[in-house]
């Protein structure tokens, strides 16, 4: 198995968790390299649902090391709660099974307060953040006034740091927003306690990943959010505060570009987005509601309904280039069953296929319409079992974005997957034919 980075090619919620789940049994380490508990994926353990926001999905595989890289922002309360809920279900993560980078930044309670207060004060201009303190935490990281996981292990340093930083934070919270101030003593007591609990897991992600690869093991780098939420390449300012693209896997976990062999892009068979921001193929009315209802398009983290629209090939084609995608996984294709015709955005008016608009705000989609299919495809396990119109839809997407689709998800269950190519067909699942 090669070393693989897995990224979303749209605005997040592409169904990455399921593809991670398919690949995890073949790897020795799964790494989160950016974002924090703004992400969310649901795991089903013995029929019991657990929603994880921070821990990599590899936690259910005892032979797999889970790594929270330096590029992640960690809310210790959330991390400990996820560890507790796994332990309560019989999965008690041992020190050698979880690595938390000492350089990861810590989401402090004042980051949460600021995220909420700022969003509330922005009214119609709000970003629509998940209010998990992600932006304010990254902001402090770059401003060199953040708290790192290493600080939690050193009470004197944590106190000295907070004595400098907290007055600034309190000034914004109290004077600008009329909120309640935070106290150094209370924060030190609570976060030193978190440090004691997390200490067994804190070690260099670089060393651990290097060892895994030196011993011939493979690593899966699990991206969160999606390409167009990237702070540099996304629809700024309506983006998250980290680099979500494949290139960030290196900086966010401490490995070099030569440690990566493949980039898997995940694309939903239509498009969704939560929060504010441009969305060229957005729908409203009955079709949007249909996709929302059939696709259960409600955020795993915030429960907010997701905005829905047609597949945007111009968008995904750009994501393929930004990330260097080598293989594509197409998810939620079953949601499109029952539509008479399915428009695809093939390009934007006046923009060459090998170019991308400077701003999506003025992009006008050019559509082509594909025939729909009425059959329920959720039981299909091979391409040959899919209706002809469905195969034509997949082939058109491949031609438009320039990468082969090697995995198609046709339902929420683990087995509801059509797998093709060598990467996805290694661990004994029914091998697809006819691709």
Q: Which residues are catalytic?
A: 13, 41
**Spatial CB neighbours of 408, under 8 Å, sequence gap ≥ 6:** 329, 330, 331, 333, 383, 386, 394, 417, 418
| Residue with smaller CB distance to ligand IMP, 130 or 170 | 130
Q: Which stretch binds ligand IMP (CB under 6 A): 145-153, 194-202, 237-245, 377-385?
A: 237-245
CB of 228 within 8 A of CB of 234? Answer: yes
For ligand IMP, the binding residue among 149, 224, 264, 320 (CB under 6 A) is 224
**Does the footprint of ligand IMP cover residue 241 (CB under 6 A)?**
yes
Nearest residue to ligand IMP by CB is: 275
For ligand IMP, the binding residue among 37, 70, 227, 240 (CB under 6 A) is 240
- Peptide bond connecting 237 to the previous residue in cis, omega within 30 degrees of 0: yes
Rounded to whole angstroms, the Cα distance separating 372 from 412 reads 21
| Residue with smaller CB distance to ligand IMP, 197 or 236 | 236
**Does the footprint of ligand IMP cover residue 305 (CB under 6 A)?**
no
Of 390, 246, 262, 6, give the one whose Cα is nearest residue 418.
Answer: 390
**Does the footprint of ligand IMP cover residue 105 (CB under 6 A)?**
no
Rounded to whole angstroms, the Cα distance separating 333 from 330 reads 7
**Does the footprint of ligand IMP cover residue 162 (CB under 6 A)?**
no
Rounded to whole angstroms, the Cα distance separating 269 from 393 reads 9
The 3-state DSSP class for residue 64 equals coil
User: How many residues touch ligand IMP (CB under 6 A)?
Assistant: 19
**Does the footprint of ligand IMP cover residue 13 (CB under 6 A)?**
yes
Rounded to whole angstroms, the Cα distance separating 416 from 398 reads 21
Q: Which of residues 163-222 bind ligand IMP (CB under 6 A)?
A: none
The 3-state DSSP class for residue 309 equals strand
Give kind and range of the element (H or E) at residue 32. Answer: strand 29-32
Rounded to whole angstroms, the Cα distance separating 52 from 85 reads 10
Q: Which stretch binds ligand IMP (CB under 6 A): 188-196, 208-216, 233-241, 385-393?
A: 233-241
Q: Which stretch binds ligand IMP (CB under 6 A): 90-98, 117-125, 132-140, 313-321?
A: 132-140
| Residue with smaller CB distance to ligand IMP, 128 or 402 | 128
Q: Which of residues 109-128 bind ligand IMP (CB under 6 A)?
A: 127-128
**Spatial CB neighbours of 235, under 8 Å, sequence gap ≥ 6:** 11, 228, 229, 277, 278, 360
CB of 271 within 8 A of CB of 11? Answer: yes
For ligand IMP, the binding residue among 134, 259, 328, 344 (CB under 6 A) is 134
Q: Which stretch binds ligand IMP (CB under 6 A): 223-231, 328-336, 354-362, 390-398?
A: 223-231
The residue ranges that bind ligand IMP (CB under 6 A) are 12-13, 38-39, 127-130, 132, 134-135, 224-225, 229, 238, 240-241, 274-275
């Amino acid at each position: 198995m090669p070393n693989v980075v897995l990224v979303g090619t749209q605005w997040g919620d592409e169904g990455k968790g399921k593809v991670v789940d398919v690949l995890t049994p073949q790897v020795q380490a799964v790494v989160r390299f950016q974002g924090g508990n703004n992400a969310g994926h649901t795991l089903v353990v013995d029929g019991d649902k657990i929603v994880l926001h921070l821990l990599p999905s590899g936690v259910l595989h005892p032979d797999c090391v889970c790594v929270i890289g330096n590029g992640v922002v960690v809310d210790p309360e959330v991390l400990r709660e996820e560890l507790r809920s796994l332990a309560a279900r019989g999965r008690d993560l041992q020190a050698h099974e979880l690595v938390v980078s000492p350089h990861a930044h810590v989401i402090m309670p004042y980051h949460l307060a600021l995220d909420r207060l700022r969003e509330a004060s922005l009214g119609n201009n709000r970003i629509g953040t998940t209010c998990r303190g992600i932006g304010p935490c990254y902001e402090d990281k770059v401003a060199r006034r953040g708290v790192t996981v290493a600080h939690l292990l050193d009470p004197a340093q944590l106190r000295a740091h907070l004595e400098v930083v907290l007055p600034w934070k309190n000034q914004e919270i109290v004077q600008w927003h009329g909120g309640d101030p935070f106290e150094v003593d209370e924060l030190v007591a609570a976060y030193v306690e978190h440090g004691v609990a997390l200490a067994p897991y804190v070690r260099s992600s670089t060393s651990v990943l290097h060892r895994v690869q030196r011993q011939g093991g493979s690593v899966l780098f699990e991206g969160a959010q999606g390409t167009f939420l990237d702070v540099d390449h996304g629809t700024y300012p309506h983006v998250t505060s980290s680099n979500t693209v494949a290139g960030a896997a290196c900086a966010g976990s401490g490995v070099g570009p030569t440690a990566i062999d493949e980039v898997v892009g995940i694309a939903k068979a239509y498009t969704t987005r939560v929060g504010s921001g441009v969305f060229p193929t957005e729908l409203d009315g009955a079709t949007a509601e249909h996709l929302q209802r059939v696709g259960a398009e409600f955020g795993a983290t915030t429960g907010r309904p997701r905005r829905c629209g047609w597949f945007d090939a111009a968008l995904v084609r750009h994501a393929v280039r930004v990330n260097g995608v080598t293989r594509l996984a197409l998810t939620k294709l079953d949601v499109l069953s029952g539509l008479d015709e399915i428009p695809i955005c093939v390009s934007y008016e006046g923009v060459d296929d090998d170019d991308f608009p400077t701003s999506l705000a003025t992009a006008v989609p050019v559509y082509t319409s594909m025939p729909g299919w009425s059959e329920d495809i959720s039981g299909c396990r091979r391409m040959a079992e899919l209706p002809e119109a469905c195969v034509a839809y997949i082939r058109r997407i491949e031609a438009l974005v320039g990468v082969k689709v090697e995995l198609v998800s046709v339902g929420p269950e683990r087995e509801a997957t059509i797998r093709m190519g060598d990467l996805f067909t290694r661990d004994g699942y029914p091998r697809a034919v006819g691709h």
